[in-house]
Amino acid sequence: MNLKRKNKNNKIETNLAWKEKNEDYLSQLQKFLDATDSIEREDLKNNVIIQMLKCDSILTQAAEKEIQKYKLKMYNIEEKNT
């Protein structure tokens, strides 16, 4: 499953490999997609999937920003100690 998507922020685009390697995430994503298969109306099914992917994207971006902040904070702390 390739989770890379076009995004103005190349850091987010190139760092999605961590999601692809997370078996729990992929398992839950597959369960969600399997559950949407029971939605008969194709337009409704697509809207549900699109909305979930938007939420996932926002959460991923937030996680990447927090990770970046943490890395910068740790780098600055180490830099001050030298």
Tell me, what's the pLDDT at 13?
A: 47
* Domain extent listing, the chain: 11-81
- CA distance linking residue 36 with residue 33, whole number of Å: 5
Tell me, what's the pLDDT at 18?
A: 81
- CA distance linking residue 16 with residue 5, whole number of Å: 9
Tell me, what's the pLDDT at 67?
A: 87
Tell me, what's the pLDDT at 62?
A: 92
DSSP 34-52: HHHTT---HHHHHHHHHHH
Q: What is the mean pLDDT of each run of 10 residues along the chain (82 residues)?
A: 50 66 94 96 97 94 89 74 54
Tell me, what's the pLDDT at 68?
A: 87
- What is the pTM for the complete model shown? 0.65
- Under DSSP, the state recorded for 8 is S
Q: Which amino acid is at 13?
A: E
